[in-house]
Amino acid sequence: MSDTLQAVREQASDLARGVRSRAWLPDAAVVVAFLLLYLVSGTGWGGPGSILYSLLQIVPLFWRRRHPMRVAVVAAAGCLLQLVLNDGPMPTNIAVLVVVYSAAAFGTRRTARTVLAMALAGAVLGALRWSFYFGLGSYLSIVAVQSLFMACFVGVAWALGDVMRRRREVVLRLQEQNRALARDQAQRSRLAAQDERASIAREMHDVVAHSLAVVVVQADGGLYAARQALAKEPGMAADRAALERAAGTLETLAETARTSLADTRRLVGVLRDTGSGAEYAPLEGVGHLEDLVERVRGSGVDVEAHVRGEVADLPRDVDLAAYRVVQEALTNAMKHAGPGASVDVDLLRTPEVLLVRVTDDGDGAAQDDHDGEGNGLIGMRERVEVLGGSVSAGPRARRGWEVVATLPVARATDEPGAPRDRSDDAEPAARHTSGGTR
């Protein structure tokens, strides 16, 4: 039974869609129905004049949707001809109500009001023509009653048409709003996807670039120690200290590679499992700064870190951004500061901002010794500027390189996710420097 009802509903839905796609079908059905009424009522044999004004009232209904005003004028001409040739109403006069409805439903407001006035005037003329005269008093009473009676039908037809027009306008506005919302949602989705891709690119760069820099430095150190041991004469014992350095270097290299691999697998796992709703949340922060410094020291770079102020209660975004700034600056120092350089990391927490400063005193690597496109500083600035901070990076006045980042703490703590006043960005933006592509 349910299958039968479902099939009937589907057939009815298909039929409705077919009718809506062919707007002329309902109009043709209305014309055919009035022609049948004209023939069945017996008024079709009243002579050529009766046929003419009846057709003038009925046939134009086929164009009632596209040209409501013209249809109303032709139907009014037929009604005037009927008043001249006939002294009584006819069943085909019901077509006037369809004309009034169509003008109110499919015409402009001006067309609807004009046709309403024409129909009301026709009701008065019809009452004057078709009322019996039994004296002036009774005649006027009959005319008033008949006029009011026909005017009520005209008013109801016009009101129905006006309601349908208003409903159609509301539906069109809702459809336009839905399309606008769909466009807005699609744009928001694209922007969210772009932000997510940028965030993933920054995370991948921070995880992979730093780890690979450590791996490269450690591999170079292990290679040097191994060659020093192998350079001994065949009869002499191997340099134990050199071999121990090589072994320690390989241990650091393996640990760094394992950590990087675990972070990469975690990030890729979140991207692959789209149905879990999990988000990639990096675990690093200022609290892991000492581990980061120790790894870099193990690579042979002299690093000193100083943290002043309370950093345990930093917002997660600020905490991660500060860590990534230090990580990227140390990575650049390992790659570009040159041998024998020392690095100083200084973090200062104030009630308003977290100041991150990383400096080195190296001479710098050769200018043509590039292993990338400088995406590290770009990602660093993106991270900091999203939080309303600023970054400057460039050579120091005397020697070495300096990276300074300022992260607002109070704003991030008080109103996470609150929109910022764009006017506040003017002054920080003026302090940004390109700093090259280090």
Q: Give residue-wise pLDDT tens across range 210-258.
A: 666 666 666 666 666 666 666 665 544 556 666 666 667 667 766 766 6
Give the distance, in angstroms, between the CA of residue 77 and the centroid of all CA atoms in the same chain.
56
Phi, psi of 46, rounded to the nearest 5 degrees: -90, 5
d(C-alpha 438, C-alpha 431), whole Å = 18
User: Taking all residues of the chain, what is their mean pLDDT, rounded to a whole number?
Assistant: 77
Determine what percent of the chain is predicted with pLDDT higher than 70: 66
What's the pLDDT at 370? 44
Q: pTM higher than 0.85, yes or no? A: no
State which of 149, 167, 184 marks the end of a domain.
Answer: 184
Contact 277, 315 (CB under 8 A): no
pLDDT recorded at residue 157: 93
Look at residue 177 and tell me if it is in a domain: yes
Q: What is the pLDDT of residue 91?
A: 85
Per-residue pLDDT at 311 exceeds 70: yes
Q: Considering the domain boundaries, does residue 291 fall inside one?
A: no
User: 103, 58, 106: which is closest to 79 by C-alpha?
Assistant: 58
The verdict on residue 239 lying in a domain is no
Question: Which of 134, 169, 184 is the endpoint of a domain?
Answer: 184
Q: Which of 5-9, 223-227, 263-267, 413-417 has the highest mean pLDDT?
A: 5-9
- Parallel, antiparallel, or unpaired: how do β-strands 302-308 and 342-349 relate? parallel
> Which of 72-76, 120-124, 173-177, 376-380 shows the lowest per-residue confidence on average (mean pLDDT)?
376-380
Residue 163 and residue 306 share a domain: no
Say what the pLDDT of residue 240 is: 62
377 domain residue, yes or no: yes
CATH code of residue 382: 3.30.565.10
Q: Is 78 within the bounds of a domain?
A: yes
- Is position 435 within any domain? yes
- Domain housing 152: 20-184
Handedness of CA 283, 284, 290, 293 (dihedral sign): positive
Rank 41-50, 245-254, 341-350 by mean pLDDT and report only the highest. Answer: 341-350
Q: How many domains does the chain have?
A: 2
Give a yes or no: residue 166 inside a domain.
yes
CA angle 291, 292, 296 (to 5 degrees): 115
Query: Do 176 and 308 have their domain in common?
Result: no
Is 280 a member of any domain? no
The residue from 158, 184, 210 where one domain ends is 184
